Amino acid sequence: MGYRELVLRNANFRYLWSGQIISLLGDWFNLVASAALVATLTESGLAVGTLFMVRMLAPFLVSPIAGVVADRYNRKWILILADLGRIFTALGFLLVDEPDEVWLLYLFSVLQLGISGFFFPARSAILPDIVPEHAVGTANALTSTTWSVMLAFGAALGGLVAGTWGLKPAFLIDAMTFVLSAWCITRIKLEVQPSLPAGEQHVAVALRQYLDGLRYLKKHREVAYITLHKAALVLFFGAPLEVVSVAMARDIFVIGEGGSLSLGLMYAIAGVGTGLGPIFARRYTGDRIAALRWAIALAYGVAVVGLWIVGTLDSLQIVLLGIFIRACGSGMLWVFSSQILLQVVPAEVRGRVFSSEYALVALMSVVGAGLGGQYLEFFTIANAVHWMAAVTMLPGILWLWWLIRNSMDKDGKNLVPVK
């Protein structure tokens, strides 16, 4: 099914997708405004870094229960309640006016991103419930591309709004986006219900069900390995490159105050690359799991080439080209790993698998950002990026070895079924 056909013919997906566009816009408004508010009130780089850490740690901490919730209860209502909860957390940022109130900003960031920790696994898990099987790949590619587009557009618009009208209007807009997103999701007609019994309410049952999800990953080794790809992405070259890019824009390619414009260009090009890469590659892979496996291996290679080009630092144009190529690889890796999970993971454990994946991404984002800072302590910017390229080869080689080894296994007992 084509992208246009999916949006026009499937009302459920159209409402989910519209809500995603609106809420992602608010997410970027909030990130830009909250980071600017912390920086203004504290004038501390450590305080800004702490903000990013708590934003990533919150979804990690709620992930065990979030996955169980996504599998036990109606996923549509999980999304609606999460959006309604985030309305109030977004409005909470308006209470922060003085340096001694920054703790409130951290608190509302934890609450908002903690609620998001319930929202995102449920949204990933609901896709096969609202689109036919043959359209799951199209839906996954389109939702992932939407994230990329909103990265390029939302961050720039959020900065413009915050810089022109002030920070509080940005927080108000963030709250309004959750209102609109919740309304869009209420329009979804969802008949599929979670297969787990909702009558078992006590904590011990929820913990047992979470452990059942982990046992599923242990039993299905390739599924477990696929859930590690996004974590490898943010650990080895995603989060570290974000940190190094700030230094690159501030110290080498300085356009705008403190390199703000050049950094914005880097984010925008990254957003375009992560969107176009998987769309272009999917023309050749389709939704065939066998092809998607090999495309993931190729994605690591594309990312390494892009990182190596960035590390030359020859000119801003060359750096942007490298960032674009790197982003094409990371987009392929992100979309295709999700696609395989959507096709092979049973509905009854899908929420727990995606929440486990999301938890690993959040945790590795924190670790990766720390690694990026360490790279800058010990290496020049060029050597830091080239080191990233070198270590990124490691998960790519391991995955390629896994594929070659199991392609020679006639029983295919370690591989998920090919459709």
Distance CA 206, CA 215 (A): 14
Q: Give one word for 190, left, alpha or beta, with left for phi > 0 and alpha for psi -120 to 50.
A: beta
pLDDT at 408: 64
Task: For 58-97, write each residue's pLDDT tens digit.
Answer: 887 887 777 777 777 788 899 999 999 999 999 999 998 8
Which residue segments constitute the domains of the chain, with CATH numbers given?
8-194 (1.20.1250.20), 211-411 (1.20.1250.20)
pLDDT at 55: 80
Closest to 19 measured CA to CA, from 169, 171, 186, 131: 186
Least confident of 77-86, 270-279, 328-337: 270-279
Pick from 49-63, 97-111, 121-135, 237-251 the range whose average pLDDT is largest.
Answer: 97-111
H or E, element range at 201 = none
- Residue 419 clears pLDDT 50, i.e. is over it: no
pLDDT at 415: 53
N-term to C-term CA, the chain: 16
Task: For 344-389, write each residue's pLDDT tens digit.
Answer: 888 777 777 877 787 788 788 878 877 887 887 788 989 999 999 9
- Residue 418 clears pLDDT 60, i.e. is over it: no
Dihedral pair phi/psi, residue 213, rounded to 5°: -65, -40
CB 262 within 8 A of CB 249: yes
What average pLDDT does this structure show over 260-287? Answer: 82
Task: For 167-216, write each residue's pLDDT tens digit.
Answer: 788 888 889 999 999 999 999 887 655 555 555 545 455 566 666 666 77
Classify residue 213 as exposed, middle or buried by CB count within 10 Å of its CB (0-12, 13-18, 19+): buried
Residue matched to tokens 């110290």:
251
Average pLDDT for the chain: 81
Least confident of 75-89, 123-137, 251-265, 368-382: 251-265
What average pLDDT does this structure show over 302-308? Answer: 96
- Residue 253 clears pLDDT 60, i.e. is over it: yes
Distance CA 28, CA 180 (A): 16
pLDDT at 3: 76
**Residue 315: Cβ within 10 Å count:** 10
- Residue 268 clears pLDDT 70, i.e. is over it: yes
What average pLDDT does this structure show over 297-314? Answer: 95
**Residue 419: Cβ within 10 Å count:** 10
Angle between helices 203-219 and 45-72 (to 10 degrees): 90
pLDDT at 257: 55
Q: What percent of the chain has pLDDT over 70?
A: 85
Distance CA 331, CA 271 (A): 9
CB 31 within 8 A of CB 163: no
Least confident of 19-28, 285-294, 333-342, 381-390: 19-28
pLDDT at 412: 47
pLDDT at 409: 57
Task: For 23-33, write each residue's pLDDT tens digit.
Answer: 888 777 777 77
pLDDT band for position 287 (cuts 50, 70, 90): confident
pLDDT at 295: 95
